[in-house]
Amino acid sequence: MKKKLVMIGNGMAGVSFVEQLLKLSPNRYDISIIGAEPHPNYNRIMLSSVLAGDASMNDIVLNDWDWYRDNGITLLAGHEAVGVDAERRTVSTKTGETLAYDELVFATGSLPFMLPIPGADKEGVIAFRDIKDCETMMEAAKHYRKAIVIGGGLLGLEAARGLLNLGMEVGVVHNGPCLMNRQLDETASRMLQAELEGQGMKFLLAKQSASITGEARVTGLTFKDGTHEEADLIVMAIGIRPNAQLASAGGVLVNDGIVVNDYMETSIPNVYAVGECVEHRGVAYGLVAPLYEQGAVLAKRLAGVESDGYHGSVLSTKLKVSGVNVFSAGRYTDEPGTKALRVQDELDGIYKKVVFENGRVVGAVLFGDTSDSSKLFSAIRSGKDYTGKEKEVLFGPSGGAGGKEPAGDADLVAAMSGDEIVCGCNGVTKDTLLEAIAEKGCVSVPELKACTKASAGCGGCKPLVEAILTTTLGADQVAAVKEGICGCTTLSRDEVVGAIQQMRLTTTKEVMHVLEWKHPEGCSKCRPALNYYLGMAFPEEHEDEQESRFVNERNHANIQKDGTYSVVPRIYGGVTTPEDLKRIAIVAEKYQVPLVKFTGGQRIDLLGVKKEDLPGMWKDLDMPSGYAYGKSLRTVKTCVGNTFCRFGTQDAIKMGVDLEKKFERLNTPHKVKLAVSGCPRNCAEATIKDLGVVAIDGGWELYVGGNGGTRVRAAELLTKVKTEEEVLLWTGAYLQYYRETANYMERTSEWSVRVGLDTIKKALEKQEDRDALNARIDQTLKLTKDPWKQIIESDELRSAFEALTATGSSEAAAQADVK
């Protein structure tokens, strides 16, 4: 009979240990894992990406439910362990279950440290530690404006960046004078602060929090110096402490954390601990790499494999703070007896410092450019003597700063020891990668990623993974595999579109077949994308595939959370008439529309409509579809212009109506919003639109790539023109260039950053290029038809809006009715 292994905790350190144990000894234990959160193991380091909206919860799952099932692990997710009886060898949970064990592992991680100041229990005061905290912050951002983050360390800055992305005003309070003082020296800290201030973060440094004000909910934070800051949300991110309470209550020796020896054994036989809950030789670690090293030792111990134990870790931090690469390791502050080599480049925002003691590298800080981090880290660990050639560490063998030849990839890889961790997020060592290359035949970075999870976290180690691959196999053996447009293919957008154009593919089925899609009918990501690309490439030949469109574009209305829809009729330029308004009012009453609302784009929204009522409403409205649901031209917002306004310089209304009439119904990679303002006061907010037209005396300015949504971005000036005709032609050329070069689901704001405004300007520079683009967009535009009218006029299309009902076996229907 197999021995029973119970682990309390379902986080990164614990699950990594189980993975390593399964590799060494797959069938030795019956494994049960108790996890307090209702999720499988996820990458806690990536929580800030979830908060920033760059990743979803699914993206950061490291071990999905299948993994537990496939490995025969019993996972009690959402269960809290409440008691350990070391005598009887049992663990009890809050839900009343009792698990017997032969071996018990504590992987309880850490708890956020909450400042014990008055008011810390108010609503709106939270930590930043788990999915739930993330959700609280996202919810708060919807209703409140001002956030304060207490703690200018790594965690605090990540929380602050996320809140900034959510549109909140963020102030960061730090008790010391320098940010991230545990990872950076003063120079790097100041550079980071300047960068973050540029991104809109505010800093309150050298401030001691005294109390939190407010009734039920927080309203602000008062400091010991008597000053006060308003806040609707306070995030405490000052640090963590080992979560060792349960172990302590169970009689295990606990100091700051659960005390373990070099084999991760606690004071009680058959009870072990690993991860952030542990104190080893007086040190509790809060970074990932040491936790994986501990997990490896414990896995060997429990698999009965000999090892020389865990001897503590040299700490290094390599991370990306708000887009800035930062690295530090070892002792990087200046001390008596140390000498430092510094390089500071304020032009590119790069700073490097290497600290030597007796010719050996003992610490390093890198800011802006962290490509030397692996080399420096292994120099610290190896203790190699560089006396007399210290500068080679940064500048390579040729010495001085002049003729520098950066150390090649080969040297860098060769300098790494086998057990050195390459991917900090997932704890993948160089040896693991070499093994995957040699034994599993991985020849590309994506294959290595699939096989080992290296670079599957933050992606920061990708260059190093690539270097290891290239050095091991030789550059010509490495398969260049790009990440595909979705999980069904490895082909990029450009390759797919190129193939469509060259091979004249005209259906999604054909594309998937010819390009060897992994799933025969694709997925919800690639099907709509392919349908768009096909229609863009061959507007005449490609027949639009309704079944490959999202629900809103198929039903020509916006689905709401309760399954009802919203109806927005076209109101060109936001200009309506009493007749139209009366008709809308009559229709709203006839169909008992629960909510009538004006949209941000100057339209009228009829919300809460049943699917079956849609065609009837469209017929009664007798207005074209407003396309409020589509990846298409949404609205052209206008101001009054010189029609009535005393400041107006041009007829903004007519310009807007002309633009909307010309480009309505156009399929685009993502939604497109336009606006026309009649003077530089810009009341139509044209400079946060995909294309904004601003009238000036004697002409028009065209702004592009703006956005007023999740990430506000001001549009950039594309050109100035004199006539309304020119506005239409430039807009046509610009929109067609966007249609032809953007990724599906990429707004113009993202697209213009990716390809660069200069590229767009260059593509539209010549009259003949603009003419060619306009010819292509006109060809597409002339094929469009009003979808509401099409549906009203076709019995077949209309029937899709009706529900089927039982036509036979009436007694069954009657039975169902009775209940």
Partner 1 sequence: MNGVAAGHISELPERSGRVFRMGSLELALFKLSDGTVKAVENLCPHKRGKLSEGIVCDHHVYCPLHDWKIDLHDGLVQAPDQGCVNTYQVEVDGNGNVIVYVKDAAESA
**Contact with partner 1 (CB under 8 A): which of 54, 64, 483, 765?**
64
Among 249, 438, 585, 800, binds partner 1 (CB under 8 A): 800
User: Which residue's CB is nearer to partner 1, number 285 or number 788?
Assistant: 788
Quick check: 799 binds partner 1 (CB under 8 A)? yes
User: How many residues interact with partner 1 (rule CB under 8 A)?
Assistant: 42
Beta bridge partners, 351, equal 344, 367
Region binding partner 1 by CB under 8 A among candidate stretches 43-51, 340-348, 349-357, 558-566? 558-566
How far apart, in whole angstroms, are the C-alpha atoms of residue 518 and residue 737? 31
Which of 207, 527, 670, 739 is the binder for partner 1 (CB under 8 A)?
527
615 touches partner 1 (CB under 8 A): no
Considering the complex, what minimum distance in angstroms separates the CB of residue 249 from partner 1? 32
Under rule CB under 8 A, residue 806 binds partner 1: yes
- Looking at the Cβ atoms of 512 and 659, the one nearer to partner 1 is 512
Residue 816 as a binder of partner 1 (CB under 8 A): the answer is yes
For residue 516, state whether it binds partner 1 (rule: CB under 8 A): no
> How far does the chain reach from its first CA to its final CA, in angstroms?
51
The total of other beta-carbon atoms located within 10 Å of residue 450's CB is 14
Of 116, 269, 563, 578, which lies in the binding site for partner 1, with binding defined by CB under 8 A?
Answer: 563
At residue 591, what is the residue type? Y
Would you say 645 is a known binding-site residue?
yes
CA angle 417, 421, 426 (to 5 degrees): 160
Q: What's the rounded Cα separation, in Å, for the pair 483 and 492?
A: 7
Cα(344)–Cα(816) distance, integer angstroms: 77
- Residue 720 phi, psi (nearest 5): -120, 135
Residue 145, SS3 per DSSP: coil
Stretch that binds partner 1, among 110-118, 282-290, 550-558, 647-655 (CB under 8 A): 550-558
Nearest approach in angstroms of CB 173 to partner 1 is 36
Classified as helix, coil or strand, 414 is helix
CB of 72 to partner 1, least distance (A): 16
Q: Which residues contact 810 (CB under 8 A, 6 or more apart)?
A: none
Q: 423: annotated binding-site residue?
A: no
3 state SS for 673-688: EEEEECCCCCCCCHHH
- Residue 27 sits in the site that holds partner 1 (CB under 8 A): no
Question: What is the DSSP track for 727-780?
Answer: HHHHHHHHHHHHHHHSPTT--HHHHHHHH-HHHHHHHTTSHHHHHHHHHHHHHH
Is 522 a binding residue for partner 1 by CB under 8 A? The answer is: yes
- Check residue 135 for interaction with partner 1 (CB under 8 A): no
Query: Does the footprint of partner 1 cover residue 382 (CB under 8 A)?
Result: no
Interface with partner 1, residue 647, by CB under 8 A: no
Nearer to partner 1, 55 or 350 (CB): 55
Least distance (Å) between residue 561 CB and partner 1: 7
Q: Which is nearer to partner 1, 65 or 647 (CB)?
A: 65
Residue 808 CB, nearest distance to partner 1 (Å)?
Answer: 3
**Stretch binding partner 1 (CB under 8 A), from 222-230, 296-304, 548-556, 680-688:** 548-556
Dihedral angle, C-alpha 44, 49, 55, 58, nearest 10 °: 10
Minimum CB–partner distance for residue 66 and partner 1 (Å): 5
Q: Which residue in 718, 735, 571 sits closest to 656, CA to CA? A: 571
Sequence-distant (≥ 6) Cβ neighbours of residue 237 within 8 angstroms: 112, 127, 128, 149, 150, 151, 153, 155, 156, 159
Binding to partner 1 by CB under 8 A, coded x per residue (else -) over 740-779, reads: ----------------------------------------
Q: Interface with partner 1 includes 551 (CB under 8 A)?
A: yes
Within 8 A by CB and 6+ apart from 555, the residues are 565, 611, 614, 629, 801
Q: Between 546 and 710, name the residue whose CB sits nearer to partner 1.
A: 546
Q: Annotated binding residue at 683?
A: yes
In this complex, which beta carbon is closest to partner 1, that of residue 223 or of residue 550? 550
Does residue number 74 form part of the binding site for partner 1 (CB under 8 A)?
no
Cα separation values, 699 from 33, 545, 674, 686, Å: 69, 42, 18, 15
Cβ 493 to partner 1 shortest distance, Å: 19
Distance CA 267, CA 198 (A): 51
> Does the footprint of partner 1 cover residue 487 (CB under 8 A)?
no
| 461 labelled binding-site residue | no
Which of 55, 61, 117, 728 lies at the binding interface for partner 1 (CB under 8 A)? Answer: 61
What's the closest the beta carbon of residue 552 comes to partner 1, in angstroms?
8
CB of 629 to partner 1, least distance (A): 12
Part of the chain binding partner 1 (CB under 8 A), chosen from 14-22, 116-124, 196-204, 547-555: 547-555
Of 393-401, 654-662, 721-729, 806-814, which segment contacts partner 1 by CB under 8 A? Answer: 806-814
Strand partners, 340: 355
By three-state DSSP, how is residue 108 classified? coil
The DSSP symbol for 283 reads B
What is the pattern of x (binds partner 1, CB under 8 A) and - over residues 585-614? Answer: --------------------------x---
- Residue 813 found at the interface with partner 1 (CB under 8 A): yes
Please, what is the Cα angle at 264 between 267 and 431, to 5 degrees?
A: 175
Task: Please tell me whether residue 227 binds partner 1 under the rule CB under 8 A.
Answer: no
Which residues are CB-contacts of 308 (< 8 A; sequence separation ≥ 6)?
none
Beta bridge partners of 633: 672
Tokens of 815: 């039975």
Q: How far apart are CA 329 and CA 355, in angstroms?
A: 10
* Residue 795 binding partner 1, by CB under 8 A: no
Considering Cα of 424, then 429, then 435, then 437, what sign does the dihedral take? positive
Using CB atoms within 10 Å of the CB of residue 809, give its burial: 0 to 12 exposed, 13 to 18 middle, 19+ buried. Answer: exposed
- For residue 222, give the DSSP letter: E
Q: Is residue 685 exposed (0-12), middle (13-18) or buried (19+ Cβ within 10 Å)?
A: middle
Shortest Cβ 538–partner 1 spacing (Å)? 21
Q: What sign does the CA torsion over 252, 255, 256, 257 have? A: negative
Q: Is 142 in the site for partner 1 (CB under 8 A)?
A: no
Structure tokens at 578: 């009493």
Measured from the CB atom, the residue of 577 and 805 that comes closer to partner 1 is 805
| 106 in Cβ contact with 258 (< 8 Å) | yes
Check binding of 347 to partner 1 (CB under 8 A). Answer: no
Structure tokens at 672: 């497109």
Between 445 and 486, CB nearer to partner 1: 486
Q: Which of 547, 697, 768, 795 binds partner 1 (CB under 8 A)?
A: 547
Q: Return the number of the residue (630 or 732) whose C-beta is nearest partner 1.
A: 630
Is residue 66 classed exposed, middle or buried when 0-12, 13-18 and 19+ CB atoms within 10 A define those classes? exposed
> Can you tell me which of 208, 261, 546, 759 binds partner 1, judged by CB under 8 A?
546
- Taking the least distance from each CB to partner 1, the nearer of 58 and 577 is 58
Smallest distance, Å, CB 550 to partner 1? 7
User: Least Å distance between CB 39 and partner 1?
Assistant: 9
Q: Are 569 and 562 a contacting pair, CB within 8 Å?
A: no
Neighbours of 817 (CB within 10 A): 7
Binding residues: 639, 645, 679, 683
Binding residues for [4Fe-4S] cluster: 639, 645, 679, 683
Task: Using CB under 8 A, list all residues that contact partner 1.
Answer: 40, 58, 61, 64-66, 519-524, 527-528, 546-548, 550-551, 554-555, 559, 561-563, 611, 799-800, 803-809, 812-813, 815-819
Binding residues for siroheme: 683
